[in-house]
Amino acid sequence: MRMPKAARFLAAAGVATLLPVAFASDAHAATSVGIYALYNNSTGKCADLPNFGWNPADTPVTQYTCTLGSGDNQMWDMQQTRTVNGLALFQFVNVKSGYCLDLPDYGAVPAGTRLSTYACSTDPAADNQEWYLNDVTLDGGYEIINYQDNLCLDVAGLARFGTDRADDLPLTVYTCYTTADGYDDHIWRFLN
């Protein structure tokens, strides 16, 4: 049997354990599974913070032309925080700022809410900085889904109209799949 493309990528990157199956621990200590750029399959751009250096808390997260490596601030430390009912949960910590990919406040937020960075919670269960993955092998990547509201990591605009392609568009959360837009621009890959 041929391994799906996304699984091959993760296996080659040494992070096959990212697939949300067979996690036995409920520990709350964050464990790094690797440092990656979050690459959007639809737009061909990466999750980014402004400029090239350190950014303060509440910095908006946007997409920008990918620059892999330490020269920019597009690298994110993917840290497993805990497992709930067999589902692995992760925080994404920006390598340069040390802040987590974050939604405002602490609970569920409405679709269209913009993401920023903020100090990583010491109690991930009490915040909305945790994400889980849904393997979408047909598109060669993953939906990155917020655990608090079950909305997907999204680029503002719509793929079917091409309004999601520009640099500096904000990252938001949005309904993961709709009959009108399919997966839209919600499929991400992990590049290093």
Q: Is residue 70 pLDDT above 70, yes or no?
A: yes
Measured distance CA(66)–CA(45) in Å, rounded = 5
Which residues are paired to 182 by β-bridges?
178
User: Which residue segments constitute the domains of the chain, with CATH numbers given?
Assistant: 5-191 (2.80.10.50)
**pLDDT at residue number 147:** 97
Phi-psi region of 134 (alpha: psi -120 to 50; beta: other; left: phi over 0): beta
Provide the whole-model pTM. Answer: 0.83
Measured distance CA(16)–CA(6) in Å, rounded = 10
Which residue, 170, 127, 175, is CA-closest to 151?
175
pLDDT digits (tens, 9 = 90+) for 1-28: 333 333 333 433 444 334 333 333 344 5
pLDDT digits (tens, 9 = 90+) for 145-170: 999 999 999 999 999 899 999 999 99
Measured distance CA(160)–CA(53) in Å, rounded = 33
- pLDDT confidence tier of residue 137, bands split at 50, 70 and 90: confident
Among all chains, which residue has been given the structure tokens 């992760």?
90
Q: Is the dihedral of CA 50, 142, 189, 141 positive or negative?
A: negative
Contact 115, 61 (CB under 8 A): yes
pLDDT digits (tens, 9 = 90+) for 72-114: 999 999 999 999 999 999 999 999 999 999 999 999 999 999 9
